[in-house]
Amino acid sequence: MSSEPIPMVEVWRGDRVESLHRGHAVITDARGGIIASFGDPGRVIYPRSSCKMVQALPLIESGAADAFALSSEELALACASHQGSALHVTAVSRWLDRLGLGEADLRCGPQKPADGKTEHQRASRGDPVGQLHNNCSGKHAGFLTLNRHLGGGPEYIEPDHPVQLLVRDAFEVMTGEEISGIAIDGCSAPNFATSLKSLATAMARMADRSQLSPRRASAAEQLLSAMADHPQLIGGTGRACTELGTALEGRSIVKVGAEGVFVAILQESGLGVALKIEDGGRRAAEAAIAGLLVRLGELPEEHPAVQKRLYAPILNRRQISTGTLRPHEGFYQGGCSLL
């Protein structure tokens, strides 16, 4: 088993490879058994936003979600990395209003909307960039809901805050691994270092809940159902999480993380997938997860959401195709099955 990253995704221009993305990936069952791996499954990474489903478990387990009658849409937003469209901003704003809170109570920081239409409208009106547009505002609304239930102080993102202590405990139990480091995420919340194998195991345990307590199993099931039912809230128009999630029709869940991380939760087979592109390229991470979904039999290669990422055309400024982004043959192996 190699400890070095393997070539995963190539960018072709004309008749030659112009760029090459290397990375690691692993597929495990809920007991941590490795089904398949590429590169180093022990590679320690920061999962970034790919683990929001795990971070949201205490929101339900604590009773906070029931106490504040959170909807399926709000549970989906707690797991989302949304594009800050009007759909997302309005939903998070209403959620906070029901809590008797507002945008100023968030600690995720302002971010320009990734949704082009929303950003154009904001800039045209001269409105300030706000925290509601932050792609993690739903996760932070979940933290605030949990914090209101616990009666904690306002700085809910501090590593020793009761909210984050519950999140840390859930993360360690789900991964089956002691946290090896803590860093601050883009949204200012703690992000816990873990191996790819352990991250994949956490995803497998979300799917195969036989290893979990009844309360945690119920929480995991509710979060996955919410994500499956509301893929548009998870990312937004054109986003990989939304388009691949829609194509998967609830059979599996995919979630992106910053710096080239992607995970998948295979509900029918009870497996988890985690991958990391070494250079942090999202285009490569999207291609790699699409390739693995095909190889695992989750999606057909010809599905438009797959083709858009697995064989993405490289267009110049005149919209002329100059090449393509495609999986490396050694990684994709002609799309042969992994199971």
Position 1 scores a pLDDT of 57
Taking the chain, what is the end-to-end CA distance rounded to the nearest angstrom?
Answer: 18
| pLDDT of 339 | 82
pLDDT confidence of residue 3: 83
The arithmetic mean of pLDDT across residues 204-228, rounded, is 97
Query: How far apart, in Å, are the Cα atoms of 338 and each of 38, 187, 200, 326, 335?
Result: 12, 36, 16, 19, 9
Among 207, 63, 48, 194, smallest CA distance to 135 is for 48
For 61, the token pair is: 């387990």
pLDDT at residue 48 is higher than 90: yes
Interval 181-194 mean pLDDT: 98
Residue with tokens 């497998």: 204
Position 133 confidence tier, pLDDT thresholds 50, 70, 90: very high
Query: What separation in angstroms does the CA of 318 have from each of 144, 240, 260, 311, 338?
Result: 47, 25, 28, 20, 39
Q: What are phi and psi of 101, to 5 degrees?
A: -120, 175
- Sorted by where each starts, the structural domains of the chain and their CATH numbers stand as 6-63+160-335 (3.40.710)
Of 80, 54, 224, whose CA–CA distance to 139 is shortest? 80
- 227 is written with which tokens? 């994500």
Q: Give the pLDDT confidence score for residue 333 in this predicted structure.
A: 85
Query: Does the pLDDT value for residue 50 go beyond 70?
Result: yes
Mean pLDDT (whole number) for 110-135: 94
Q: What is the pLDDT of residues 310-331, one digit of tens each?
A: 999 999 999 999 999 999 999 9
**pTM for this predicted structure:** 0.96
CA distance 273 to 286: 13
Confidence of residue 337 (pLDDT cuts 50, 70, 90): confident
- Quote the CA–CA distance of 273 and 253 in Å, as a whole number: 10
Distance of CA 201 to the CA centre of its chain: 15
Mean pLDDT for 73-83 is: 98
Distance CA 252, CA 203 (A): 11
Give per-residue pLDDT as tens, 93-105: 999 999 999 999 9
Average pLDDT score over the chain: 96
Return the pLDDT at 2.
67
DSSP string, 194-218: EEHHHHHHHHHHHHSGGGS-HHHHH
Residue of 334 and 223 predicted with greater confidence: 223
Q: Which of 207, 256, 275 is nearest to 80 (CA)?
A: 256
Is the pLDDT assigned to residue 301 strictly greater than 60? yes
* Nearest C-alpha neighbor of 293 from the set 262, 258, 328, 259: 262
